[in-house]
A and B are shown apart, each in its own frame.
Chain A
Amino acid sequence: MKLVGLEAVLFYLLAVVAILFAIFMITARSAVHSALLLISTLVATAGLYLLVHAEFVAGVQILIYVGGVLVLFIFVIMLVNAKEEDNKMFTRQLLIGGALTFFLGLGIIAILLQTQKGNFFTLASPAPPKIEQAQNNPNLSPSHNISQNTIKIGQELYTKTVLPFEIASLVLLVAIIGAVRLARERKQEKIYD
């Protein structure tokens, strides 16, 4: 897997945007600012998915994360009326937490350097597979000319991974019921009783 030229420039641009906004997110004073900066990071990540030809995952990222989960976060921030954290933003464990994450980062970087030194990731780039060459075949239906990513993911999702798919729907059902049960007020419970 190699990105060269303009793709490499785009990668660096999106990566810098994602990391900078992530840092701003964990240091923002107000929770609403944090949510907006997290949206920026997630959109930059969706751009990275497009860069590696994962179009369906990029769409899901925008629709579910940015359109669903982050809107939920912003709703909850409005509901709990979180005041500006004027006195303290961080817990008392700021130094310990900072040191722990610093060592975690050092460890991850050391491991990555070690693996690259052993030429683990620098295999020769193979010829493009047949699936991509099929895009130029005029006998296929027009949808094949755009991208096969969504088609293939749909096929594998409904054949090989049907059971996890159904379990995921069960997880979502449990989450809905749990959220309704947890967020309900006493007044409303009395009405239902």
Chain B
Amino acid sequence: MINLFNIIPILLQAQTVSPSGVKERLLEGIFNVNINNFLVLSGLLFVIGVAGVLTRRNVIVIFMSIELILNAVNINLVAFSRYWFLQSEGKNAYMGEIFTIFVIVVAAAEAVVGLGIVIAFYRNKETVAVDEIDLMKW
């Protein structure tokens, strides 16, 4: 339940504020969740997805990591959509969510075509490991 991302900047400004003020602002900062927390969550999910793509050997798990990356981007879009909704009194407030729907559509299409390629390859070489997929390597 500790919001590290609010603690660090408050402590950075500690020289200018009195100690009691720092304590007050820390409590206030820990117990509310703003858009920064969503950005941190989505950044972490993105990094985990990139790690999966770069290191795993199974093609299907790599595709799942790509889905994870797209999902992280969707969290960003939805959070910013809500943020803009509250700032703009409802004007153009749903564009972020509509963009999210398009991202989901493209992710579904990408997964379908990618898995088709995996099946076609498995029929030829009986493997799904990326370092054995080297038919076009010279």
Chain A interface residues toward B at CB < 8 A? 1-5, 7-9, 11-12, 15, 18-19, 22-23, 25-26, 28, 31, 34-35, 38, 41-42, 45, 48-49, 52-54, 56-57, 60-61, 64-65, 68-69, 72-73, 76-77, 79-80, 82, 85, 88-94, 96-98, 100-101, 104-105, 108-109, 112-113, 115-117, 121-123, 125-126, 128-131, 149, 152-153, 156-157, 160-161, 164, 168, 171-172, 174-176, 178-183, 185
Residues of A contacting B52 in the complex (Cβ-Cβ under 8 angstroms): 25-26
CB pair A101 B51 closer than 8 Å: yes
Residues of B contacting A34 in the complex (Cβ-Cβ under 8 angstroms): 60-61, 64
Q: Would you mind naming 23 contact pairs between A and B with Cβ atoms under 8 Å apart?
A: A3-B34, A19-B41, A19-B45, A26-B48, A26-B55, A41-B71, A56-B97, A61-B74, A65-B71, A73-B115, A76-B60, A76-B119, A97-B55, A98-B54, A100-B50, A121-B36, A122-B34, A129-B85, A129-B89, A131-B90, A153-B97, A175-B109, A182-B119
CB pair B75 A45 closer than 8 Å: yes
**Closest-CB distance, A92 to chain B (whole angstroms):** 7
Which B residues, 96 to 137, have Cβ-Cβ distances below 8 Å to chain A? 97-98, 100-102, 104-113, 115-120, 122-123, 128-131
CB pair B41 A15 closer than 8 Å: yes
Assuming A12-B1, A60-B104, A72-B112, is B119 touching A101 (CB within 8 A)? no
**Closest-CB distance, A126 to chain B (whole angstroms):** 6
Residues of A contacting B57 in the complex (Cβ-Cβ under 8 angstroms): 85, 88-91
Q: Which residue of B lies closest to A120 (CB)?
A: B36
Q: Which residue of B lies closest to A118 (CB)?
A: B9
A182 touches which of B1, B48, B89, B116 (Cβ 8 Å) = B116
CB pair B65 A26 closer than 8 Å: yes
CB pair B82 A101 closer than 8 Å: no
